Amino acid sequence: MIFVNFKTYQKGTGKLALFLAKSCLEVEKETGVKIIPVVQAVDINLLKDFNVFTQHVDDISFGPNTGKILPQAVIEAGAKGTLLNHSESKIPFQVIGSTIQKIKALDNNFKVLVCCESIDEAQEIVEFKPDFLAYEPLELIGGDISVSKAKPEVISEFIKMIEEIPILVGAGIRTKDDVKKAIELKAQGVLVSSDLLLAKDFKKELKELTLAFKK
């Protein structure tokens, strides 16, 4: 599977996000590789007909929480899951756990993908039982060297130590070979963003990444 984080790039906002989501679905249908757009909370309603995750929710319930993202709201808007603890939106361990607990009490089918920067961090998070973990070393995010090339031994160790939760890898994923290496290391998929969102031809680049899943 490929999670595509739209972040707040212009191409990934509003009507342009809708265009990218359509491209993701088209590539998924053509290749059989599951592709999940990870979008801004304000765009969920626009994209509710797609299998989208939101980029974050807060550890809150109904009440006076101005400026926060309410889990009930994104579920009702049509999101199928959420990203938590991305390097650009870090939260404490106890908040991760409490947020997951809230979400699962609301809708056990709503999925949670938690990012972590190290094995030590992952071992703290795994007890909260997220649906997916994404290993993203901070120093490689948005860079030219992929995590699968720079730290293959860490990925292997990561996956061996955390067998009960599907593992994704991210940070610097740019090419089919980057994805292929991650899959060879037993990752279930990848989390990508900048290279795709800044590409001249988003759909072409995304389709190229899916080739890594072919045997």
Q: Residue 136: name the closest of 124, 150, 207 by CA.
A: 150
Give yes or no for a contact between 68 and 56, defined as CB atoms under 8 angstroms apart. Answer: no
pLDDT value of residue 138: 65
pLDDT value of residue 180: 87
pLDDT value of residue 126: 93
pLDDT value of residue 157: 79
pLDDT along the chain (215 residues), means of 10: 96 96 97 97 95 98 97 97 95 97 96 92 92 79 59 76 86 80 87 91 95 84
pLDDT value of residue 151: 63
pLDDT value of residue 24: 97
Domain hosting residue 12, numbered range: 2-213
Number of separate domains in the chain: 1
pLDDT value of residue 164: 84
| Residue 173 CB partners (closer than 8 Å, separation 6+) | 146, 147, 148, 179, 182, 190, 191, 192, 195, 209
pLDDT value of residue 141: 56
pLDDT value of residue 197: 94
Give yes or no for a contact between 138 and 170, defined as CB atoms under 8 angstroms apart. Answer: no
pLDDT value of residue 170: 79
pLDDT value of residue 147: 62
CB atoms near residue 96 (< 10 Å): 24
Q: CA-CA distance, 23 to 29, in Å (whole number)?
A: 10
Q: CA-CA distance, 42 to 62, in Å (whole number)?
A: 18
**Active centre residues (catalytic):** 86, 136
For 59-68, the CB contacts below 8 A with 24+ separation are 59/91, 59/95, 59/98, 59/99, 59/102, 61/102
Give yes or no for a contact between 173 and 146, defined as CB atoms under 8 angstroms apart. Answer: yes
Q: Can you give the CATH number for the domain in which 15 is found? A: 3.20.20.70
Burial of 215 (0-12, 13-18, 19+ CB in 10 A): exposed
